[in-house]
Amino acid sequence: MNIFDRIIFTIFTIFFVLISIVIIILPFDVIQNNIIDEAVLFLNSLAGNYWIILVGLVMLLVSLRLLFSGIKRNKKSEYIIKYTNLGELKISTQTIEGLTYSVTNSFNEIRDVKANIEIVDDELIILINARVSPNVNIPEVIFKIQEKVKEHVQNCSGIKVREVRFKINEIASQVRTIK
């Protein structure tokens, strides 16, 4: 949620808190009847005022925006926590992805690498989607990359890598070099 959505959300929340408080105290007859009558008269005076439709539509659109911004999930940052003698260390999944990319980018045989990290029982499962270059022995190259990724991530983060899974989507087209 961006700052605009948060401000609008705060205003809506305050508005609904006030309405809730009024609804809660209505049965106790704390609010004078003439205030309720004046509110009813005000609402009746809005009949025929078509500008109120515009206000209603704006409120509806803002409500829908807040609803969908709450549903839309950005890739959340998960952390794996290690405890050292000096305190706690949190390493994000984005950091592990970066370590993975640093290894995979050194291999010319694969392209368009996308990495996802899963944390299972304080161990990492690294999921890599990629395309391979033509005329490559896929099992041989992928095995080398898996070894290097596992070794690099474990050495740099100190976190055990349970497995490195690969999914090869397709063969990458050859890039022609113009002389």
| One pLDDT digit (tens) per residue for the chain, 179 residues | 677 777 888 888 888 888 888 777 777 777 776 777 887 887 788 777 778 788 778 878 877 877 777 665 555 568 888 888 889 989 999 999 999 999 999 998 998 999 999 988 889 999 999 999 888 899 999 999 999 999 999 999 989 999 999 999 888 776 555 65
Are 84 and 157 part of one and the same domain? yes
Domain end position, chosen among 44, 70, 96: 70
Strand 123-132, strand 161-171: pairing:
parallel
- Residue 155 is predicted with a pLDDT of 95
Are 85 and 160 part of one and the same domain? yes
Cβ–Cβ < 8 Å for 131, 114: no
Does some domain include residue 41? yes
φ and ψ of 174, to 5 deg = -70, 145
- Residue 96 is predicted with a pLDDT of 94
Q: In what order do the strands lie in the sheet with 110-120?
A: 110-120, 123-132, 161-171
Strand 79-84, strand 87-92: pairing:
antiparallel
- Domain range enclosing 11: 3-70
* Domains of the chain: total: 2
- Residue 154 is predicted with a pLDDT of 94
Are 151 and 87 part of one and the same domain? yes
Helix pair angle (93-104, 138-157), 10° resolution: 130
Does some domain include residue 104? yes
